[in-house]
């Protein structure tokens, strides 16, 4: 069975500082990994994905994520946080067998403080 | 372009009543998904439609929940004899192909409150 864990319910960071939102996963076979963001009173938006290729994936709004196979992690990062980055972030994963949809983590609330 | 739309945006119903939630996916998207988002619980997968294949119903929490997708486009999620624990935001998403590779596009959700 596939699963994803976001160990932090809440991450607080000062504006201008780098941010990291953590995600670890468990799947059989090679993983397909995604990050989504949910801004207040808005739907989920796709940020980035890792399917194959370079371990460092760049996405929307200056975010990037690094796939680390040995640590089974896919942490979301941004070099300099903005107040407007404050939102709920979801990591999602699926394996490459069968036809099961994505499994989402419980989400991490990011607060960027001016 | 037009995104995924859902209706109604809010629904308040009495315990025991049936409700229907509607999802209009992005045109041309073959895959459609329903999720439930409860406070502090993340996204809970409910059901998945892919083209003309039989839907994956493995996430439906009870037989009070059902969904259909007519003509490969619009989908309706039906909850019969609603209970207070059904209160949540119900999200619909669609994607161009299989969830393996293609990202999902989400609608704004329907907030269901069962009183």
- Enumerate the residues of chain B whose CB falls inside 8 A of the CB of residue A94: 99-100
pLDDT digits (tens, 9 = 90+) for A6-52: 999 999 999 999 999 999 999 888 889 999 999 987 789 999 999 88
CA distance B39 to chain A (A): 10
CA distance B53 to chain A (A): 11
CB contact under 8 A, A43 and B35: no
CB contact under 8 A, A105 and B42: yes
d(CA B42, CA B34): 13
pLDDT digits (tens, 9 = 90+) for B4-57: 999 999 999 999 999 999 999 999 898 999 999 987 677 899 999 988 888 989
pLDDT digits (tens, 9 = 90+) for B67-100: 999 887 999 999 999 999 999 999 999 988 765 6
């Amino acid at each position: 069975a596939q699963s994803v864990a976001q160990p932090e319910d809440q991450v607080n960071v000062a504006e201008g500082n780098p941010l990291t939102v953590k995600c670890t996963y468990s799947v059989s076979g090679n993983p397909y990994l995604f990050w989504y963001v949910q801004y207040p009173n808005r739907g989920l938006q796709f940020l980035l994905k890792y399917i194959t290729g370079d371990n460092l994936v760049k996405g929307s709004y200056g975010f990037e994520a690094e796939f680390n196979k040995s640590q089974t992690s896919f942490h979301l990062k941004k070099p300099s946080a903005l107040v407007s980055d404050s939102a709920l972030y979801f990591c999602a994963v699926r394996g490459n067998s069968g036809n099961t949809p994505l499994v989402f983590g419980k989400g991490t609330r990011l607060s960027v403080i001016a | 372009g037009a995104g995924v739309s859902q209706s109604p945006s809010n629904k308040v119903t009495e315990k025991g009543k049936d409700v229907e939630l509607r999802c209009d996916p992005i045109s041309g998207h073959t895959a459609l998904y329903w999720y439930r988002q409860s406070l502090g619980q993340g996204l809970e997968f409910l059901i998945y439609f892919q083209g003309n294949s039989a839907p994956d119903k493995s996430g439906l929490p009870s037989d009070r929940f059902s969904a259909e997708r007519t003509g490969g486009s619009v989908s309706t999620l039906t909850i019969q004899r609603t209970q207070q624990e059904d209160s949540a935001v119900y999200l619909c998403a669609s994607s161009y192909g299989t969830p393996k590779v293609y990202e999902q596009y989400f609608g704004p959700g329907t907030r269901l409150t069962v009183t």
